[in-house]
Amino acid sequence: MVDKNIKLMQGNEACVEAAIVAGMKFYAGYPITPSTEIAELSAEKLPRVGGRFIQMEDEIASISAVIGASIAGVKSMTATSGPGFSLKQEGIGYAVITETPCVIVNVQRGGPSTGMPTAPGQGDIMQARWGTHGDHSIIALYPWSVKEIYHTTIKAFNLSEKYRTPVLLLLDEVIGHMRESIELPKEDEIEIYNRKKPTCPPEEYKPYKVKEGDIVPEMAGFGEGYRFHVTGLTHDETGFPSNNGNIAENLIKRLVSKIEDNKDDIVEIDEYLLDDAEIAIVAFGSTARSAKSAVDILREEGIKVGLFRPITIWPFADKQLIELSKKVSRLVVVEMNLGQYYLAVDRVASKHTKVEKFGRVSGELITPQEIVDYIKEV
């Protein structure tokens, strides 16, 4: 077909292409393997679309600049990897409490600390959930292919704008550096969500008041005539700090419930051959690619296995996993760590089925055969 736009693309490259389509106009980052291509390509592409790129002095500065730019009204993103993701937790918490839309990409590598910079890992699943201090909820997405990186990056921006929250886009070294051909969607096939801006007169604007029927407060940008205040302190509807316990509790509960109460909209999962499955593998990212092959191999041998692949890691797909746990005799969580997502699965599913973990932290991708062997041996 002549009108198809098919390109061979690296995962990290697809992320940048999609971010620009989603409306990214600002990127601040710091070089770190294996995410650096995202910064390099953003530097190359953003000024061409009137956007701006800046290499900041460190990871914390990068997330801070991203939040600043977003409050100034511009869709913003940063990308990092393990050690940088740790440093960004301060800013992620600030974005949570100030309800600032932004996208943080974490191309996971082996950890802890400097760990294995050029090797894949999935050790940041729990850091993504609980890395920043204090009670909060978070959205974390994890695609498994170049094509899905493209679509999930757009989704990450859309969710961050819709729910006024930082969205974490988890990749790993394998899918970040992998090349696949993808068919780029046409402009009219892409849905873009932009933050809702206030229409009231400035003197009536309350930056943290949720209007009846809305999920989040309307968000003005700096310089748009609404002179409001933003603070990382607990605050009331006016945006000014408050030490009132009820106000603090209502705020934190609202920040959590705006995500947890909208799981039906946020949570996306992919199922493969689960209908008649007796054993379900739970896997995401590059590991899910091996898991899918393992399912195929096992199916050929007559073993009824399927794959449950959460694309939304957080908020947690508890409803879907509980349902699944009632249908299968084994739930095998396969991940490149020693059992992180497993903890969450075990908590909701162990009542109904046997929940197992199979992981490794050697910096090597888990192969289909290893999964096959595990399933058959246990």
Binding site for another protein (CB under 8 A): 25-26, 28, 47-48, 50, 52, 54, 56-58, 60-62, 64-74, 76, 90-91, 94, 221-225, 227-233, 240-241
Least distance (Å) between residue 156 CB and another protein? 19
Q: Least separation, in Å, of the C-beta of 22 and another protein?
A: 16
Of 67 and 105, the one with the shorter C-beta distance to another protein is: 67
User: d(Cα 223, Cα 202) in Å, to the nearest integer?
Assistant: 12
CA 182, distance to chain mean position in Å, is 21
**Residues present in the chain in total:** 378
Task: Report the nearest approach of another protein to the CB of residue 132 (Å).
Answer: 11
- 340 neighbors 283 (Cβ within 8 angstroms): no
40 vs 180 by CB, closer to another protein: 40
3-class DSSP assignment, residue 42: helix
Beta bridge partners of 340: none
Q: State the nearest-atom distance from the C-beta of 17 to another protein, in Å.
A: 17
Q: Which is nearer to another protein, 63 or 332 (CB)?
A: 63
- Which residue lies nearer to another protein by CB, 47 or 112? 47
Least distance in angstroms from the C-beta of 138 to another protein: 18
Residue whose C-alpha is closest to residue 5's, from 177, 154, 156, 187: 187
Q: Which is nearer to another protein, 59 or 148 (CB)?
A: 59
Q: CB of 48: closest distance to another protein in angstroms?
A: 5
Contact 159, 311 (CB under 8 A): no
Map residue 68 onto helix, strand or coil.
Answer: helix
What angle, rounded to 10 degrees, do the helices at 11-22 and 36-45 form? 40
Q: Which is nearer to another protein, 36 or 62 (CB)?
A: 62
* Selection from 225, 223, 228, 262 nearest residue 98 by Cα: 228
Q: How far is the CB of 224 from another protein (least distance, A)?
A: 8
| CA-based torsion, 163, 125, 310, 315: positive or negative | negative
Q: Two tokens at 315?
A: 């908020």
Q: CB nearer to another protein: give 68 or 111.
A: 68
Which amino acid, one-letter code, is at 212?
E
Choose between 62 and 286: whose C-beta lies nearer to another protein.
62
Count Cβ atoms within 10 A of the Cβ of residue 6 and give its class: 0-12 exposed, 13-18 middle, 19 or more buried.
exposed
- Rounded to 10°, the helix 245-260/82-98 angle is 120
CB of 236 to another protein, least distance (A): 12
Nearer to another protein, 29 or 315 (CB): 29
- Residue 73: is it exposed, middle or buried by C-beta count within 10 angstroms (0-12/13-18/19+)? middle
- CB of residue 203 vs another protein: minimum separation in angstroms? 11
